[in-house]
Structure 1
Amino acid sequence: MEIDKLDRQVTHALRINGRAGYREIGAVLGVSDQTVARRYRRLREEAGVRVVGLPNPIELGYETWTLRLRAAPDAALQIASALARRPDTTWVSVTSGGTEIVSGVHVPASADREALLLQKLPRTPRLVAVSAHCVIHNYVGGAVGPDLRDDALTGEQIAALTPERPTGSRAAHLTGADAPLIEALSWDGRLGYTELAAKTGWPESTVRRRVQELFGSGSLYTDVEVDPELFGFRAAVMLWLSVAPSRVASVGTALSEHEEIVFAAATTGPTNLQATAICRDMPAFYRYVTERLSLLDGVERIESAPVLKHVKQLGSVR
């Protein structure tokens, strides 16, 4: 599939506001709402672009953990697929020549960490090593906000599409009753109120109020699942950095300003910063590491692992 300028603009617009209407996006881009709808359907069907609605772990006080699992090459994909089916995993990737699985997990602060992080792991002798690292601060990516990779829209267009958060709003408390709504939005974050009412069994007025309340308070946010290769980015690499403790904040902030970085966070463990870089190709990644990343004051050691396969990127597994 060929991706043109308008495709990039529509995708960028959805990353800014995943529930913006076709008419709203069209007005900003200077095209008709029918054109936007047609482009989005094509991007969904042919390029795998998908908007998902997700609970905001920061607003809800959840802990986020990164699991690093080492497995035999013939077992890695099976283990990764089992992790991807868990509702508490947010993403799952296979790296390092097919021997390492890396996954993000959200854990309610009151939950039993050991049970969720370790006891529920696939039980197989082919899993040879496990480590878990708690994310203690997010700098860019996910609920923190879009990275700088997209450049299809102008600053004025971005401002026009950025949703306003009501002044004084507080995080709505998610309850068990919200489960069908969250499940529906994790499949498709652009479902209309009528469709959501059918999936939840709620009156449409209740769905409308609850969706507006949860998104307005920041308890839910949207993100966009894409295949980076279709947009010209063929090198996705996970990074683990050892940074002098006094420089962690400054390096993390610097990473958030690098267009190559789509995720960056401070973590516990033998390394203290985790990041994901997406570059045009591996030579571009080499230039990024040698000319920018390694020159940041405080960076002492860099570990990198190319992503071989995204088993789960966002929301529910397709």
Structure 2
Amino acid sequence: MQDPVALDEVDRRVVHALQVSPRASWSQVGAVLGIDPVTVARRWERLRDGGAAWVTAYAAAPRSPFALVEIDSAGHSQDIAALLADDPQCATIDITSGGRDLLLTVTSRTMAELTEYLLGRLGALAHTRAVRTHLVTRVIAEGASWRLAALTETETARLREPPMPPARARAGLNADEQAVLDALVHDGRAPTADLAARTGLGPRRVRDLLRDLLRSGRVTLRTELQAGSSGWPIYAWFFLRTPAAAAAVISPRLGSLPEIRTVLEIAGPSNVIMAVWLRELTDVGRLEAAIESQLPEVQIVDRSVVLRTTKRVGVVLDSAGRRLRTVPMQR
């Protein structure tokens, strides 16, 4: 396995800035960070070209069903991960320790399509001993909101977009909007001229569509980086059981923890599942102890440490966690 790309403090500040505002101009980022814009651009290009950091995009579909799926693979976890890597419905693939070999995030447009993928595609896989599905009922926190904590609150505030009147709500994307999203998926920072060339639309039309898609919240831009370069290289999933009446209060408290990447409420015996990034393996036990101490009504049912992530939110990764290519998600 190749070593992670080494990020110095300036690199981390650049990545954090793009987590806050993925399409901020280099002049704006440079002004906030106190760095020449050309230097900022070169820093990002080195990280992007090396696969250590990237900006992708996906359609925000709050009513679309999705699920977490555990697979016991009888020792064939890497084979199954490679087989599923180019499936649009399979957004994230984690190879894990513990009571499951693989943990997948599966998305779809309708419940019927989700069911067909779960029963048809995953149910027919060779070398699987068991497939267990957890349907997600509510998203409390997601990885797009996770930050590197390399900037001050003042710097972060300078990068945030000013509030704008909400755009008229619409369901789905029309053909031109979908074309812009398809181009953004591969590079969420692509200049307007590049987006226009890829879509065949005029630059002004692209600017208007992009502004509307982002302002309406129908498209999400997400800045990600190689986990091993983040300073938080240990990735783990926790399966929790909370009293149903208290879940609405407990879940947001879990989502506020700095280590948290994802918190999901699910329909199942473990009614809350969360993903965390940690600095050291010993922090798994420390976090468990903190949860048990601060939230005694929460029972930790199980946990799994991720050995390798081969795909994260549509981005296929190499063995070191670097971006190889992007497979647009079905949302």
Q: What TM-score do you get using the length of structure 2 for normalisation?
A: 0.87
Cα deviation digits, residues 124-148 of structure 1 (max 9, x gap): 3302211222221112124xx513x
Structure-2 residue corresponding to 1:129: 130
Structure-1 residue corresponding to 2:320: none
Structure-2 residue corresponding to 1:84: 85
CA shift for structure 1 position 303: 0.9
What CA distance in whole angstroms lies between the structure 2 residues aligned with 1:82 and 1:177? Answer: 32
Structure-2 residue corresponding to 1:302: 301
CA shift for structure 1 position 67: 1.6
Structure-1 residue corresponding to 2:204: 205
In angstroms, what is the RMSD of aligned CA positions? 2.1
* Letter in structure 1 aligned against 2:263: A
Structure-2 residue corresponding to 1:284: 283
Q: Which has the higher helix share?
A: 1
Cα deviation digits, residues 17-61 of structure 1 (max 9, x gap): 111111111111111211110110122233620111111122xx2
Structure-2 residue corresponding to 1:274: 273
Structure-2 residue corresponding to 1:193: 192
Q: What is the correspondence of 1:218-257 to structure 2 with a 5 Å cutoff?
A: 218-257=217-256
Alpha-carbon contact 2:288-2:300 (below 8 Å) kept: no
* Letter in structure 2 aligned against 1:113: L
CA shift for structure 1 position 110: 6.3
Cα deviation digits, residues 63-104 of structure 1 (max 9, x gap): 22112222121x212222232211122211111269622111
Is residue 108 of structure 2 the alignment partner of residue 107 of structure 1? yes
CA shift for structure 1 position 231: 2.4
CA shift for structure 1 position 266: 0.7
CA shift for structure 1 position 267: 0.8
Describe the shift of the 1:175–1:70 C-alpha distance in structure 2 as closer, same or farther (beyond 3 A).
farther
CA shift for structure 1 position 181: 2.7
Alpha-carbon contact 2:52-2:229 (below 8 Å) kept: no
Describe the shift of the 1:33–1:111 C-alpha distance in structure 2 as closer, same or farther (beyond 3 A).
farther
Structure-1 residue corresponding to 2:27: 23
From 143, 153, 156, the equivalent of 2:154 is 156
Q: Equivalent residue of 1:292, what SS?
A: helix
What CA distance in whole angstroms lies between the structure 2 residues aligned with 1:294 and 1:46? Answer: 42
Alpha-carbon contact 2:65-2:114 (below 8 Å) kept: no
* Letter in structure 2 aligned against 1:100: D
Describe the shift of the 1:284–1:301 C-alpha distance in structure 2 as closer, same or farther (beyond 3 A).
closer
What CA distance in whole angstroms lies between the structure 2 residues aligned with 1:69 and 1:83? Answer: 12
* Letter in structure 1 aligned against 2:298: V
Structure 1: runs of 5 or more not aligned? none
Cα deviation digits, residues 261-316 of structure 1 (max 9, x gap): 11111111121001111111111222111133554132123311010111111334
Cα deviation digits, residues 175-203 of structure 1 (max 9, x gap): 35544432321211111111112222222
Q: What TM-score do you get using the length of structure 1 for normalisation?
A: 0.90
Alpha-carbon contact 2:167-2:216 (below 8 Å) kept: yes
What CA distance in whole angstroms lies between the structure 1 residues aligned with 2:36 and 2:69? Answer: 45
Describe the shift of the 1:93–1:295 C-alpha distance in structure 2 as closer, same or farther (beyond 3 A).
same
176-185 or 150-159, which deviates more: 176-185
Alpha-carbon contact 1:251-1:297 (below 8 Å) kept: no
Alpha-carbon contact 2:19-2:224 (below 8 Å) kept: no
Structure-2 residue corresponding to 1:315: 314
Q: Equivalent residue of 1:259, what SS?
A: coil
* Letter in structure 2 aligned against 1:133: H
Structure-1 residue corresponding to 2:73: 71
